[in-house]
């Protein structure tokens, strides 16, 4: 009847964005006052990064992270914090699909941390448990450049997109209990900048084996880098891109926005009339 039509018409994704953004702003004490932004970005990435272009499996469409097989993938340790953060949002807006919610969470987080605008399309549809992709599709941080290049090739990305995407490591931190890496957060853990690239090039890095026997790079200001982070300055083709992004934050923002939007839409054919949403930040709405 007309009410259903009315409810359908009320599908306002800016309202969902505002609810997520307000909750990020309010719950600022999480993870030593870093806040929920970084872990929400990581959930959006991990729920999309299962894509394999060789058989068109995985990706964000089915919202399969909600099933324990995927949630308990060792690569996803720590992301329950993002899932628990989004649960009340999903109760407030039960009409949004899980895939749309997980990806919108990452878009909201990037924009509210003063990052670039990320165009985002709605329309993912929850799929059943038997569509959960296998564990082990997300990258292993102990590897080098050729591994990184192969993994991102499987995701359908070239060098420029790969380096831009990993620039998200300016955000948040590693957590011993999640990945076995431990490092204090970087210079701007909850503000989206090109610091990751600047630090990679300018700091003096030494390779250490931490208490868990895991190798990581540490510098004299107490920041850390993963082996896969450091691969970006060891590989000459990646290094050129790191230098470009360290020099020009606007170019990094432009390339990150395109690559992140593509990552979140991997393996999904949206109908053409389904135009991307461009969301306003809370500040732009004087909220």
Ligand X SMILES: CCOC(=O)c1cnc2ccccc2c1N
Residue least distant from ligand HEM (Cβ): 172
Strand order in the sheet with 205-209: 205-209, 215-219, 224-225
CA–CA separation, 212 and 218 (whole Å): 15
Strands 215-219 and 205-209: antiparallel
Q: Token pair 């990806």 is at which residue?
A: 103
Residue burial 227-240, b: 16+ Cβ < 10 Å; e: rest: bbbbbbbebeebbe
Residue 261 as a binder of ligand HEM (CB under 6 A): the answer is no
Nearer to ligand HEM, 93 or 110 (CB): 110
Residue 195 interacts, among ligand HEM, ligand X, none and using kind-specific CB cut-offs from 5 to 8 Å, with ligand X
Q: Token pair 């230098």 is at which residue?
A: 243
Nearer to ligand HEM, 166 or 200 (CB): 166
Q: Is there a catalytic annotation at residue 185?
A: yes
Q: List the structure tokens of 42.
A: 């990581």
Q: Distances in Å between the alpha carbon of 124 and those of 100, 214, 225, 279?
A: 6, 38, 34, 18
Residue 60 interacts, among ligand HEM, ligand X, none and using kind-specific CB cut-offs from 5 to 8 Å, with none
Burial class (CB in 10 A: 0-12, 13-18, 19+), 117: middle
Q: Which residues bind ligand X (CB under 6 A)?
A: 169-170, 172-174, 185-187, 195-196, 199, 223, 225-226, 229
Q: Which of 41, 43, 145, 214 binds ligand HEM (CB under 6 A)?
A: 41
Nearer to ligand X, 22 or 142 (CB): 142
Stretch that binds ligand HEM, among 1-9, 57-65, 160-168, 201-209 (CB under 6 A): 160-168
Q: List the structure tokens of 83.
A: 């899932």
* Shortest spacing between CB 188 and ligand X, in angstroms: 7
Residue 277 main-chain phi, psi, to 5 deg: -85, 140
Residue 45 interacts, among ligand HEM, ligand X, none and using kind-specific CB cut-offs from 5 to 8 Å, with ligand HEM
CA–CA separation, 225 and 222 (whole Å): 10
Residue 50 as a binder of ligand HEM (CB under 6 A): the answer is no
Nearer to ligand X, 174 or 266 (CB): 174
Radius of gyration for the chain, computed over Cα atoms and rounded to the nearest angstrom: 19
Nearer to ligand X, 193 or 267 (CB): 193
**Interface ranges with ligand HEM (CB under 6 A):** 38-39, 41-42, 45, 78, 139, 141, 148, 165-166, 168-169, 171-175, 178-179, 181, 226, 228, 260
Point out the residues that are catalytic. 46, 185
């Amino acid at each position: 009847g007309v009410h259903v039509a009315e409810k359908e018409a009320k599908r306002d994704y800016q309202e969902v964005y505002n609810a997520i953004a307000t909750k990020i702003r309010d719950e600022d004490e999480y993870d030593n006052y870093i806040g929920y932004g970084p872990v929400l970005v990581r959930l959006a990435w991990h729920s999309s990064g299962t894509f394999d272009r060789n058989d068109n499996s995985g990706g964000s469409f089915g919202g399969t992270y909600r099933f324990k097989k995927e949630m308990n993938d060792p690569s996803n340790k720590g992301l329950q914090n993002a899932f628990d953060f989004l649960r009340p949002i999903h109760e407030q807006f039960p009409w949004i699909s899980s895939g749309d919610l997980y990806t919108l969470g990452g878009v909201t987080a990037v924009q509210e941390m003063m990052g670039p605008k990320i165009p985002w399309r709605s329309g993912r549809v929850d799929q059943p448990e038997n569509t959960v992709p296998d564990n082990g599709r997300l990258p292993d941080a102990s590897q080098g450049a050729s591994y990184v290049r192969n993994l991102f090739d499987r995701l359908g990305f070239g060098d420029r997109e790969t380096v831009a995407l990993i620039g998200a490591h300016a955000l948040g931190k590693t957590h011993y209990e999640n990945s076995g890496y431990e490092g204090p957060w970087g210079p701007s853990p909850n503000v989206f900048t090109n610091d990751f690239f600047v630090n990679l090039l300018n700091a003096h890095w030494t390779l250490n084996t931490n208490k868990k026997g895991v190798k990581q790079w540490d510098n004299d200001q107490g920041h850390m880098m993963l082996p896969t982070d450091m691969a970006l300055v060891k590989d000459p083709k990646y290094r050129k891109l790191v230098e470009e992004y360290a020099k020009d934050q606007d170019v990094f923002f432009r390339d990150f926005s395109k690559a992140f939007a593509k990552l979140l839409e991997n393996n999904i054919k949206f109908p053409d009339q389904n135009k991307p949403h461009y969301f306003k930040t809370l500040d732009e709405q004087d909220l």
